[in-house]
Amino acid sequence: MKGGYVHNEVLLKALDAQFRRAGALIKFEASAGSGRQAGNVDMLVDVNGKRIAVEAELSAKRVGNDLRKAEELGVDELWIVVPNHKVSTSAQRRLKDLHISATMPKLCVFTLGQALQQVTNSFSLISRSKVTRKQKKTTRNQIKGKPKEVKKHGD
C-alpha cells in the first residue's frame, strides 16, 4: 500500500479488520480505470452487495481526486476516512466547493472512529468460524505482500 504509517497502519489496517469481521471482500489499491492517469483507490470493499471505495486522507488536498476515482469505479459509496475532526471539517468544506453531480456516489467523510462505528452499525459482523478457507488464504497472502481480491464462498 502507498502511504505512510498513519495512512496504512492506523487508518487502513483498522478499517480492513473491521470490514473483514463484517464478511467484506476487500481489494487494496484498486485501479480506478485504464491508463496511467486513472489512479487507484486505497480500498475497494464489497459488503452485502454494496461497493464502497475507501480513501484514507491526512489532509483535504486530494478529496476532489478521490471523488473522480469513485465516480469512475461506479461505486455505491465513497468513504473518505481522516485522522481527526479538523481534517474532516476541512475535507467537507472542500467538497462543498466542488460541483457534485447526481451521478456521483454517496459521499461520507468520517474520522476513523466514525468509520469503524459505521461498519458496525451498517453491516452485521460475522463470527470467525464463518470465514471461508479462501478468505483466510487471501489474508495470509496479503500479509506476505501478495494482495489478492477475496471472493465470496460459492462464487
Residue 1's Cα: distance from chain center in Å?
12
Residue 93 in this model has a pLDDT that exceeds 70: yes
CATH number of the domain where residue 94 is located:
3.40.1350.10
Helix or strand (DSSP H, E) at 4? none
Q: Which residue range(s) make up the domain with 123?
A: 5-128
Residue 107 lies in a domain: yes
Q: pLDDT for 11-63, tens place per residue? A: 999 999 999 999 999 999 998 877 667 789 999 999 999 999 999 999 999 99
Residue 77 lies in a domain: yes
Residue 155 lies in a domain: no
Q: How many domains is the chain built from?
A: 1
pTM: 0.77
Helix or strand (DSSP H, E) at 105? none
Residue 154 lies in a domain: no
